[in-house]
Amino acid sequence: MDHASVLALFDRDMRQDARPDGPRARIERVEGVVRQVGGEAGWNGVLWSELGEVGAEGVIDEQLRYFTGLGLSFEWKLYAHDTPYDLGKRLRAAGFAPEPEETLMVAEVADLDLGLPVPEGIEVRPVTDATGVGLVVEVHERAFGSDGSQLRRQMLDRLAADPEAAVAVVALVDGEPVSSARMDLPPGARFAGLWGGGTVEEWRGRGLYRTLVAYRARVAAARGYRYLQVDAMPTSRPILERLGFASLTTTTPYLSP
């Protein structure tokens, strides 16, 4: 994989030409930024920016005024190669708070081993209805210790509006959900996005994360996507590297004041 060319393709496909991630969201392109407005229950933020050394502060201030006027907090998703190269410093000066850094990892679907066996005693079930959404939310809350009400609403909205644009899957042991994961399948894009992979603590280290990556990769391959991308935390990065994912850059979420 040519890392530089794939990163440039990712910037065009998934950031500059971003599609809304749900039926209630919209993409706007103004003043050197691409932003999503997802409303109170959705994701709001800047997906891409191309700012110069001069004038960056004005654009930052305008985004703050815009989202504040809508009554929404938002995230500026900053990538290490975004310009100006001190943009993180400028965001902090404007009151933004950085979240932990993530690594953008990408794999070519054709290069992945999609035949990983499902661990013994595990049932892997696709999510197709509200009951399945409830199982995913249960895993999310147990694995990450955070409220899943917003995730529930987003998943139900997408199932109702366009069930082909996203995939969710849950792993169960004797009917109990112990791991889950999601995948975005943006129409017309070359990248499918892996999100939300989580396993409850007592079932970690048993291959469930790898199993659900392989499951989603098979779906992406069947749908004709060339690449998989993940914003990986340090805990999942080594697993993804062993599966064949490459690190292209880092990304840091900056949360608005």
Decide: residue 74, CB within 10 A, 0-12 exposed, 13-18 middle, 19+ buried. Answer: buried
Distance between CA 119 and CA 121 in Å, rounded? Answer: 6
pLDDT at 94: 98
Mean pLDDT, the chain, integer: 94
pLDDT of residue 7 exceeding 90: yes
Distance between CA 81 and CA 89 in Å, rounded? Answer: 14
Nearest to 26 by CA among 50, 40, 44, 11: 44
Would you say domain 108-249 falls under CATH 3.40.630.30? yes
pLDDT band at 39 (very low <50, low <70, confident <90, very high): very high
pLDDT of residue 33 exceeding 90: yes
The DSSP output letter for 165 is: G
pLDDT band at 2 (very low <50, low <70, confident <90, very high): very high
Is the Cβ–Cβ distance between 118 and 124 less than 8 Å?
yes
For residue range 75-95, list pLDDT tens digits in order.
999 999 999 999 999 999 999
pLDDT at 116: 80
How many C-beta atoms lie closer than 10 Å to residue 98's C-beta? 14
Gyration radius of the chain over CA positions: 18
Averaged over 200-205, what is the pLDDT? 92
Nearest to 247 by CA among 255, 236, 144, 48: 236
Residue tagged 């190269």 (tokens): 85
Q: Helices 149-161 and 130-144 meet at what angle, rounded to 10? A: 150
3-state SS assignment for residue 31? coil
Averaged over 20-39, what is the pLDDT? 94
Strands 102-108, 227-232: pairing kind: antiparallel
pLDDT at 31: 84
pLDDT of residue 114 exceeding 90: no
Distance between CA 104 and CA 237 in Å, rounded? Answer: 9
Distance between CA 140 and CA 174 in Å, rounded? Answer: 18
pLDDT at 46: 98
pLDDT at 152: 94
Least confident among 64-68, 130-134, 147-151:
147-151
pLDDT of residue 22 exceeding 90: no
Least confident among 8-17, 125-134, 141-150:
141-150
pLDDT band at 123 (very low <50, low <70, confident <90, very high): very high
pLDDT at 68: 97
pLDDT at 242: 92
For residue range 138-179, list pLDDT tens digits in order.
999 999 998 999 999 999 999 988 888 899 999 999 999 999
Q: Which two tokens stand for residue 143?
A: 């694995």
Domain boundaries, the chain: 3-103, 108-249
pLDDT at 117: 84
Distance between CA 31 and CA 19 in Å, rounded? Answer: 18
Q: Could you please report the per-residue DSSP string of 82-122?
A: -SSTTHHHHHHHTT-EEPPPEEEEEEEGGGS---PPPPTT-
pTM for this prediction: 0.93
